[in-house]
Amino acid sequence: MAGRFGFGAGSAAESMTVVNTPSQDLALTNFAYCAPTDLNKFASTGSKHVFVLVGDSVVLTLRAHQTIPSNHIALNAIQRRHTRVSSGDQISVRVFLPPDNFKLALLRLELDFVKGKTNRTEQLDAVLLGQQLQKKFIDQIMTTGQRVSFEFYGTNYTFTVNQALLEGQDDSKGLDRGMISRETYFVFEASPNSGIKIINQREAASSKIFRHKEFNLQKLGIGGLSAEFTEIFRRAFASRVFPAHVVNKLGIKHVKGMLLYGPPGTGKTLMARQIGKLLNGREPKIVNGPEVLSKYVGETEKNVRDLFADAENDQRTRGDQSDLHVIIFDEIDAICKSRGSTRDGTGVHDSIVNQLLTKIDGVESLNNVLLIGMTNRKDLLDEALLRPGRLEVHVEINLPDENGRLQILQIHTSQMKENSFLAADVSLQELAARTKNYSGAELEGVVKSAVSFALNRQISMDDLTKPLDEESIKVTMDDFLHALHEIVPAFGASTDDLERCRYYQFHIVLLLTVTASKEQPAFCILFDYPFMRSESFVLQTILFLKNSIQVGDMHCLLMGIF
Ligand SMILES: Nc1ncnc2c1ncn2[C@@H]1O[C@H](COP(=O)(O)OP(=O)(O)OP(=O)(O)O)[C@@H](O)[C@H]1O
């Protein structure tokens, strides 16, 4: 990560004399203090806070205090213990510039009393404590292993940072640290034999719901979707980490349904599957819309009911302790078209939609289910299904941007790179720049096609029995460039959509040929179809027009109704 340790460019370490924090109140802020003139020295333009690396491991927020002499830094006892210095010692201090995306997704803290071993026992409410710590230490940087003292309801405690996870962080390297934000999720553990009991949070709550501490999407094989993943996590899972009675007390209702929508091949299914794998408990059920449909009367409704049977049993027998059941519904538009929109006259679709609504939101509704629906055609779905309480969180998964494309290419070439099959001339950065409008699936296709060119070079058509020389297989930049000709982006449209695009393009051409005249050079064509909203559709249409008719100097204005 660029600037993982984020030291200010050219900033040299200053050697400062350690003094005690001026007051007990200030000691509990976890700030380090220095003379106002020194603060100016460390301040970097544009940043709200001044962060300094004190010693070699801990990053503290530096504040000015009138009583501190120049060239001195005030550290409280816990900070001095952590950095292994005493008052009067010298310590190195240097500016720390937080890199981008430095917000902590999760902070796991071990709690203890400041006074060490006592005979006290204390119950700490994890929800209240989390809120307090968030408020008190917002924007501060926490590093694994760091100890911090704080006051909570009149008692002084310390916490030790056991885990500090950034979204997308490769936690196998170096120190883990990040900044506390409003989104940071706190998990508390009591120090063994401390006498502290944490209530209102299942023990190590996050590990209850998430199997791994892994938040690295690239390791999970998902590229370019970290913003979408963060949104899904916040909306659909954050509340589920708390036990049912707290959720009831807070009056929160879990999100029971979520819709991932967007062009084909952009990773919707991939994302839903990986979320399912991350969760503890049951394997998610994955079904496909058309699969659930049956030609027999009542059979489809039964198939829908069966999907929820396990969750119902679990809720009946284990109540609030029931596991979370994730049901992933691919191509949900196949069975959840707007009621009354299908012309089969049977009303079958209507009753399927009703069946689903009852399970998610009706009198028999379940609280232990998360339904993840996926579609390329959100516009086709029954409105009722998308209301709050149902598939209420809508996350658009779009074609990846350049950075996303780079991540996807890295994911799909990582194995060949590890095994030295990737030639040195391959620039994934350049490929990412040249693959505008490619979906994730198409990028995977490009990699496969490039590999096939490389393998083909090794095969001798004259003698197919000739042994292959594994060592000399190299996928080169040329192979990728050939692959780009073979795999062209469908600008996120399915074959169906493409056919429809061609159909409409043909009609636009007709319209233009009929109406075009020198006196009437500008045309306004209104699009009212969602698949026409993409910039690439408009561009393709313009190209198509240019090639199809002699439009001369005619200007054509294409507009979409969004
Ligand atoms: N963001 C991505 N990161 C890495 N691989 C991706 C990504 N998007 C797509 N792929 C690759 O393309 C394959 C197909 O994608 P996926 O089935 O998840 O797309 P989808 O959006 O669900 O498409 P559809 O709407 O057609 O079902 C994935 O298995 C994966 O190999």
CATH fit for domain 14-95, picks 2.40.40.20, 3.40.630.10, 1.10.1060.10, 3.10.20.30: 2.40.40.20
324-379 pLDDT tens trace: 888 888 888 887 776 555 544 455 556 777 778 887 776 667 778 888 999 988 88
Q: How would residue 397 be classed by pLDDT, with cut points 50, 70 and 90? A: very high
Name the residue of 270, 333, 438 to mutate for ligand 1: max ligand atoms within 8 A of Cβ.
Answer: 270
Does the beta carbon of 270 lie inside 6 Å of ligand 1? yes
Residue 414 has pLDDT above 60, yes or no: yes
For ligand 1, whether the C-beta of 408 sits within 6 Å is yes
Strand pairing of 177-179 and 141-143? Answer: antiparallel
Query: Radius of gyration over alpha carbons of the chain, in Å?
Result: 30
For residue 355, report the phi and psi dihedrals to the nearest 5 degrees.
Answer: -60, -45
CA of 535 to the centre of ligand 1 (A): 21
Closest residue CA from atom 13 of ligand 1: 441
Q: Which fold has domain 402-486?
A: Helicase, Ruva Protein; domain 3 (1.10.8)
The total number of residues written for the chain in this structure = 562
Q: Which of 269, 332, 412 to mutate to test the pocket of ligand 1 (most atoms within 8 A of CB)?
A: 269
Question: Cα of 451 to ligand 1 centre, how many Å?
Answer: 19
| For the chain, counts of helices (H) and of strands (E) | 18, 21
Q: pTM, whole model, 2 decimals?
A: 0.55
- Judge whether 427 and 477 are in contact, CB under 8 Å: yes
> Quick check: do 14-95 and 402-486 share a fold?
no
- Residue 263 in contact with ligand 1 by CB distance below 6 A: no
How is the chain split into domains, by residue range?
14-95, 202-398, 402-486, 497-560
| Ligand 1 lined by 269 (C-beta under 6 Å) | yes
Among 337, 414, 331, 408, CA closest to 374: 331
Residue 408 has a pLDDT of 96
DSSP 3-state helix, strand, coil percentages of the chain (rounded to 5)?
40, 25, 40
Answer whether CATH 3.40.50.300 is correct for domain 202-398: yes
pLDDT, tens digit, 9 for 90 and up, residues 463-486:
666 666 767 788 999 999 999 988
Distance 70 CA to ligand 1 centre (A): 58
- pLDDT band of 552, cuts 50, 70, 90: very low
The predicted structure's pLDDT at residue 368 = 82
Give pLDDT tens digits for 188-212: 888 887 888 887 664 334 444 555 5
- Atom from ligand 1 closest to the CA of residue 441: 12
Average pLDDT over residues 227-253: 69
pLDDT of residue 77: 92
Element (H, E) at 506: helix 495-515
Instruction: Please identify, by atom number, the ligand 1 atom nearest to the C-alpha of residue 404.
Output: 1
